[in-house]
């Protein structure tokens, strides 16, 4: 039997702003990684890890994160 893919509720989406002014929207972080008392703090580490993996594949250095906020949230 085929394995079900992750449901949208299994992920939390974040908008990431980098120090160079660029922005990436809807970056996915597992909701289970955010289940601690730190709130959304662990999201930064998870997104930085994703960025390192992407930079290794592309050969470009990772960008430094300036700010992270949940997608669809109020400003």
- Tens digit of pLDDT at every position of the chain (75 positions): 666 665 556 889 999 999 999 999 999 999 888 876 667 788 999 999 999 999 999 999 999 999 999 987 555
pTM comes to 0.76
pLDDT in tens, 64-75: 999 999 987 555
Q: Where are the alpha helices (DSSP H) in the chain?
A: 41-58
Look up residue 40 and give its two tokens: 């959304």
SS3 sequence of 46-67: HHHHHHHHHHHHHCCCCCCEEE
Query: Quick one: pLDDT at residue 73?
Result: 56
Query: Quick one: pLDDT at residue 64?
Result: 94
* CA 8 distance to own-chain centroid: 14
């Amino acid at each position: 039997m085929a394995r079900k893919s992750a449901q949208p509720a299994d992920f939390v989406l974040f908008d990431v702003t980098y120090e160079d002014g660029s922005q990436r929207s809807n970056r996915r972080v597992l909701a289970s990684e955010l289940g601690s008392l730190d709130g959304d703090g662990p999201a930064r580490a998870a997104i930085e890890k994703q960025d390192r993996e992407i930079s290794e594949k592309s050969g470009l250095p990772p960008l430094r994160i300036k700010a992270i906020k949940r997608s669809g949230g109020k400003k």
